[in-house]
Structure 1
């Protein structure tokens, strides 16, 4: 193993010790009784680990292309993370609906549960939920003492989210009884009760103590936005160029939507076509929805071989309902490092009992294959060809850009055959374009084309009317953008980067789309600033195997 690959491995090992919750999310096996220290001291220890690794990395020289990519990726990611720490962001990052609290809650469902010892680990992690949340409250209090406050809206929304989590783990008692004839039922019940108390106490604190001292402004301003965008994109952002491009892209998609609506019913407007599809192509009930989702994921896995090389390990994909989640959007978590936990797509209900599935086929391709599961899963199974650091995490612009590219690719391959499903794909693309203008506009206070200014209500209006997002998703989506600056732009800007990379590659001798996909997935995650450079070395046609980092 080269020194750069060894440093990457060492970083991940130590990071897992400092952040067991994050390690579980990244698929790294840790003792579930261990906790992440979310106190100021815990954040400081993780920041120091980042900076010490950067100092060591600066002394190392790459010995191969794989080494060069691994070192550059590690450097870019750690520099972006260090900048986030330097701004004091851990002390004021109150995020709904994807953030620290949802990570702790989802972590429980990611732990193995095959043996009685596994369930004892689940009980231990549950019992530690109030400990971790209490430490986080210390960080928030310290942040307030330094003048580092989150937005009031995020505190109120996260309090409501924490309230919804009270009771969310109750089903584990029946699961335990059904799966294992064990001796830890009392410990499991005690852990569940402790976790629920922790969620409830956090909700009270956020609502009664933190929110009154939070700031009213939702936008974070130019300095914080630049750091957030860099974390999500792996590239510095020309925000004004991206804002103008986002509006132009939204207009382009709207024209395509109008043409597709005419295919649904001649002469129909987009709104009329969507209403017609809503009336005729829904499923009723959560069980029927889950059955539909599982069937569509299975179909995509069955047809993927015709267009991609997929590892046998990735042919298993869990599909689950995200009970208790207030998130508007589905999401994906990757396989574990040791292969014992498969990739999983998570589907929030948003209070629905009827589901407009014509809209959601495109999201199956985004979250499953050929989207996140293929890309992130492939990186997981490439072993020593990609550094452990790259295998353990993705860059949002790279991953979400690929997943949105995968939706477009599914259209090119003719996969949108069910009635209305292509209109659903275009509506999803419109929503991602709307995200670009909402996210940049709200955080940087840029004017809309008509000269008006952004606020929460305007963002909801644009997302619903121009982005065509269903109303059950809209409030949660906008809250998410406001609490996670720079992430919402990663979909469309990432897709733009992937399409540009493919266009450049088509001019090379021997290009085939299947070969290109294999090459780009084998490189693993990189920031968007390094995407084009990393792909330039990809040769097509007969060639020697790529040099790995060992």
Structure 2
């Protein structure tokens, strides 16, 4: 790895990363760092207090560094490290661990989602992971204690979130042991000890992990569900300190201190704009500009749905989209990732409560490629018209291009390459690429194009309903009704999405905030540079410092424009 010109900054950045991996050993394994494979996360109050002291000390050391005369890369690293530490301290101060019982970011969901992505390339890795599995009960029991502390402080959970989490826990416990994700992940090739190892994994799953999930489920069912909030008060504004917590989460996900009421209005304005564009495409596609008629066609035409007897069809279509995207990349990007991107189905145990698609980045050591997961559960209810835009968002040129490139920028500190916490940049980029795909000629038909508009409207709805529920006192039904009016998808799918926004406040609104900022920066750069504007160069500048906050991205683009002007 190339050494940073700011040696003290690099030293503290590396120290922070080492500390982060120690407190997040599963994440270390996920990245290919096997040093902590026997360990599991400690989310107890005592452990969190120790982390807080460590982060405060590190932050002060970063703040004391004098880098006024250093280059842009050093300033970016320093600003990102300060923001990252401030965010970590904010999560501790707001006790967000007390709220991690949900179906999206819950402790149990993280275990079930990550387990199939872990591998054991060497026999020692395999043996070490058995030891980690013996500690799963410690993690789930500690999570239960944090939930109890939250309830004792009046921070009661939304009923719908607890019910969805219970569906996942119960689904896991009802699944066959032979297909358990904690027993079936990849092991060393050709290892003569594999049979015994698999037996040990099954024993630990049966004797430790499943009983721990059962205890965790009992806490959800017997302690959280009876005190949970009704669907009429799903948002954070219904709990003590909820307004302040929501403002923090908006800042955590966007990097910006935004007024929820202003975000709400931006969402309404965006919806009006997308509705106009949808009318134009609808006229060409269905011969009508009436939104109700367009939506009725998109909702009810069986030809626009996948064949329920062919669940592999969405996977095949996603692979075709990525093949088309790869063929166009050289014209729009100077830097391309080395890691490939695979397409796989969402694991069965998660599929019923999982989103339509999601992406996992590659391991830093090359042991795992980037993976685009497509949900084939109940394929007959899945829309054909949004397959393309979702594939471009989640994989290429969206998340895979962005996050694989980030992991391959080996001259940057590790925390900058692998900490994907700047949600507005990460998701804003992916949403930006949905529109970019149209510029690239990747939408073969107006049906694909209207899918892009549907998904853009979806993200605009998020600004409205997320702020509506968490800041303005909306009910769950109000959020569902708003989305039904602006989205041509079934009520069941919209309900799953609304429940996602209840589960992880402010995360969903960051997509549109990030997209709007990238588009603004691009327009400003193009206006300043005129004929000297280069779209490939702009994209390389945006992606060239790994995942960054929106304020830092503005400084990066300004520097790129200045260098182009001076050239």
TM-score by length of 2: 0.88
Change in CA separation of 1:468 and 1:274 when aligned onto 2, cut-off 3 Å: closer
Displacement after TM superposition at 1:103 (Å): 1.5
**Structure 1 residue 495 and structure 2 residue 520: aligned?**
no
Displacement after TM superposition at 1:438 (Å): 0.1
**Structure 1 residue 53 and structure 2 residue 77: aligned?**
no
Alpha-carbon distance between aligned partners in 1 of 2:251 and 2:105, rounded to the nearest angstrom:
18
Structure 2: 5+ residue runs without aligned partners? 238-242
- The equivalent of 1:415 in structure 2 is 442
**Are the counterparts in 2 of residues 233 and 527 from structure 1 also a CA contact under 8 Å?**
yes
Match of 1:455 among 475, 479, 485: 475
Change in CA separation of 1:303 and 1:427 when aligned onto 2, cut-off 3 Å: same
Alpha-carbon distance between aligned partners in 2 of 1:481 and 1:441, rounded to the nearest angstrom:
11
Change in CA separation of 1:305 and 1:532 when aligned onto 2, cut-off 3 Å: same
- The equivalent of 2:164 in structure 1 is 157
**Are the counterparts in 2 of residues 261 and 273 from structure 1 also a CA contact under 8 Å?**
no
Q: Structure 1 stretch 232-241 or stretch 84-93: which is displaced more?
A: 84-93
**Are the counterparts in 1 of residues 137 and 209 from structure 2 also a CA contact under 8 Å?**
yes
Match of 1:23 among 20, 28, 39: 28
* Paired residues for 1:388-403 under 5 Å: 388-394=414-420, 395-403=422-430
Change in CA separation of 1:322 and 1:142 when aligned onto 2, cut-off 3 Å: same
Structure 1: 5+ residue runs without aligned partners? 447-453, 546-550
- The equivalent of 2:19 in structure 1 is 14
- The equivalent of 2:116 in structure 1 is 109
- SS in structure 2 of the partner of residue 286 of structure 1: coil
- The equivalent of 1:219 in structure 2 is 235
CA RMSD of aligned residues (A): 2.7
Displacement after TM superposition at 1:135 (Å): 1.5
Alpha-carbon distance between aligned partners in 1 of 2:372 and 2:433, rounded to the nearest angstrom:
16
Displacement after TM superposition at 1:66 (Å): 0.9
Alpha-carbon distance between aligned partners in 2 of 1:301 and 1:117, rounded to the nearest angstrom:
37
Change in CA separation of 1:239 and 1:96 when aligned onto 2, cut-off 3 Å: same
**Are the counterparts in 2 of residues 515 and 540 from structure 1 also a CA contact under 8 Å?**
no
- The equivalent of 2:540 in structure 1 is 518
Change in CA separation of 1:45 and 1:541 when aligned onto 2, cut-off 3 Å: closer
**Structure 1 residue 208 and structure 2 residue 229: aligned?**
no
Match of 2:298 among 267, 274, 293: 274
**Structure 1 residue 465 and structure 2 residue 485: aligned?**
yes
**Structure 1 residue 368 and structure 2 residue 395: aligned?**
yes
- SS in structure 2 of the partner of residue 538 of structure 1: helix
**Are the counterparts in 2 of residues 283 and 356 from structure 1 also a CA contact under 8 Å?**
no
Alpha-carbon distance between aligned partners in 1 of 2:204 and 2:338, rounded to the nearest angstrom:
33
- The equivalent of 2:44 in structure 1 is 39
TM-score by length of 1: 0.90
- The equivalent of 2:240 in structure 1 is none
**Structure 1 residue 307 and structure 2 residue 314: aligned?**
no
- The equivalent of 1:451 in structure 2 is none
**Are the counterparts in 2 of residues 20 and 34 from structure 1 also a CA contact under 8 Å?**
yes
After the TM superposition, which segments of 4 or more aligned residues of structure 1 sit over 6 Å from their partners?
Answer: 174-179, 540-545
Match of 1:529 among 551, 563, 567: 551
Alpha-carbon distance between aligned partners in 1 of 2:102 and 2:435, rounded to the nearest angstrom:
30
Match of 1:293 among 287, 312, 318: 318
**Are the counterparts in 1 of residues 341 and 395 from structure 2 also a CA contact under 8 Å?**
no
Match of 1:136 among 143, 146, 150: 143
Displacement after TM superposition at 1:146 (Å): 3.7
Displacement after TM superposition at 1:422 (Å): 0.7
- SS in structure 2 of the partner of residue 149 of structure 1: coil
- The equivalent of 2:264 in structure 1 is 243
Change in CA separation of 1:15 and 1:303 when aligned onto 2, cut-off 3 Å: same
Alpha-carbon distance between aligned partners in 1 of 2:79 and 2:187, rounded to the nearest angstrom:
49
Q: Structure 1 stretch 492-501 or stretch 49-58: which is displaced more?
A: 49-58
**Structure 1 residue 355 and structure 2 residue 382: aligned?**
yes
Change in CA separation of 1:340 and 1:485 when aligned onto 2, cut-off 3 Å: same
**Are the counterparts in 1 of residues 235 and 502 from structure 2 also a CA contact under 8 Å?**
yes
**Structure 1 residue 444 and structure 2 residue 471: aligned?**
yes
Displacement after TM superposition at 1:329 (Å): 3.8
Match of 1:232 among 253, 269, 274: 253
**Are the counterparts in 2 of residues 330 and 348 from structure 1 also a CA contact under 8 Å?**
yes
Displacement after TM superposition at 1:437 (Å): 0.2
- The equivalent of 1:72 in structure 2 is 79
Alpha-carbon distance between aligned partners in 1 of 2:327 and 2:494, rounded to the nearest angstrom:
33
Alpha-carbon distance between aligned partners in 2 of 1:28 and 1:59, rounded to the nearest angstrom:
30
Alpha-carbon distance between aligned partners in 2 of 1:476 and 1:32, rounded to the nearest angstrom:
34
**Are the counterparts in 1 of residues 362 and 404 from structure 2 also a CA contact under 8 Å?**
yes
- The equivalent of 1:264 in structure 2 is 285
Alpha-carbon distance between aligned partners in 1 of 2:100 and 2:299, rounded to the nearest angstrom:
39
Alpha-carbon distance between aligned partners in 2 of 1:321 and 1:271, rounded to the nearest angstrom:
28
Displacement after TM superposition at 1:366 (Å): 0.2
Displacement after TM superposition at 1:159 (Å): 1.7
Alpha-carbon distance between aligned partners in 2 of 1:466 and 1:27, rounded to the nearest angstrom:
43
- SS in structure 2 of the partner of residue 314 of structure 1: coil
Displacement after TM superposition at 1:276 (Å): 6.7
Change in CA separation of 1:455 and 1:12 when aligned onto 2, cut-off 3 Å: same
- Which string of whole-angstrom CA distances, capped at 9 and with x for unpartnered residues, describes residues 374-418 of structure 1? 11111110111x332221122100111110000000012221114
Q: Structure 1 stretch 431-440 or stretch 293-302: which is displaced more?
A: 293-302
